[in-house]
Amino acid sequence: MNAVSLFDNISEDLPGELFTVLAAGNGVTIERIVSKGHASAEGEWYDQETREWVLVVKGEARLQFEGKDEMHLKTGDHLFIPAHARHRVVWTPKDRETIWVAVHFS
């Protein structure tokens, strides 16, 4: 039972988003996602089998659900994403990390 920091083990250079599983079990996965200028490709939507709860721990982002206006998420903002709610990351800042915690559950 050792504590680990969400802010550790992030390399300076992130060619793609960094996904790290923090804990998992019984249909639940808790992961850290680090973005640095990353966004979903134009026209690319996440369409997930599982429910997701997501929190912006550091940084900020713009997120869009299909057919809806973009949302601006700032540090501390969280939301629940139902299964198959098509969504994409529109923007994250290039000059600093945005750190998310995502909990996926069925």
Q: How far apart are CA 106 and CA 89, in angstroms?
A: 22
Among positions 16, 26, 49, 67, the unique one binding a second copy when judged by CB under 8 A: 26
Among positions 9, 19, 78, 96, the unique one binding a second copy when judged by CB under 8 A: 78
Measured in whole angstroms, how far is the alpha carbon of residue 30 from the centre of its chain?
Answer: 11
21 counts as binding a second copy under rule CB under 8 A: no
Of residues 15 and 27, the one with the C-beta less far from a second copy: 27
Strand partners, 104: 29, 52
Residue position matching structure tokens 């501390």: 76
Shortest distance (Å) from residue 57 CB to a second copy: 6
